[in-house]
Amino acid sequence: MKLRYTADINSYKRMTNAELKQAFVVDDLFAPGETVLTYTDVDRAIVGSAVPQDKPLGLPQSKELGSDYFCERREVGIVNIGGAGTIEVDGTSYKMQYKDSLYIARESKDISFSSVNPSEPAQYYIVSYPAHRTTQTTHVSKADAHHIELGSAIESNDRVINQSIRPGIVDSCQLVMGFTELEPGSVWNTKPPHTHRRRSEIYMYFEYNDDNRVFHFMGEPSETRSLVLAAGTAVISPAWSIHSGAGTTNYTFIWAMGGENQTFDDMDHIPISDIS
């Protein structure tokens, strides 16, 4: 378990690009044959990945959790962005196709990640938050997610929001998770930018090649900074920061939120004319 200490609402304004990345960006995900986890001080969230090849992988216990096993007091959300695979939770197997999601409930003990074809492994993206109650582990295919079409090609933000872990589909404690797919020709992932001080958020950008980048914008509306991100990179957004981004091409990003409110539309929009 790696540790990540983020910057506060004042200090980020004086940081270099390298310092901002060190504080907010997780760029060591999806290591073949490994489970990679980073513990952040933002709402005690954990972000990571598992890429099983010829043998299954698990969620290791760590002293940072202060528990006997990973999910003793935690819930986990997973989206597969690789080849077909299977996740086994306490003896029950869940087949994971591309962009399928799995919610793993608190008190789940034995968790195992595997791939159908080691040469085309599953790539499990993982986000975990503390959980105060025990619910039920639930598989959600992409088809079974709640789909919302937003934006327009004229404003370069024509997109589909796929809500997979949310009230009405999954009974989670605080975790809300899904992914947004931008149509060709669209580059803005949310427009206008927004904040929600009642919950933090983690983005993970993918589905674009090495010749392209996403410019992720963070900070207070009057003091924004940009982080230039390659595919397969996650960025931590504290509750005080805006989260918005524009790419050099269209892309997909996974969003995961934890906090006091699970209502997806609970956000404070910021007029673009107020951004500086």
Residues contributing to the annotated binding site: 194, 196, 201, 243
State the alpha helices, DSSP H only, in the chain. 17-24
Strands 2-4 and 35-40: parallel
Q: Binding site for Zn(2+): residue ranges?
A: 194, 196, 201, 243
Q: Which of 257, 236, 255, 112 is nearest to 174 (CA)?
A: 257
Q: How deeply is 71 buried, as exposed, middle or buried, from its count of CB atoms within 10 A (0-12, 13-18, 19+)?
A: buried
Cα separation, 15 vs 7, whole angstroms: 9
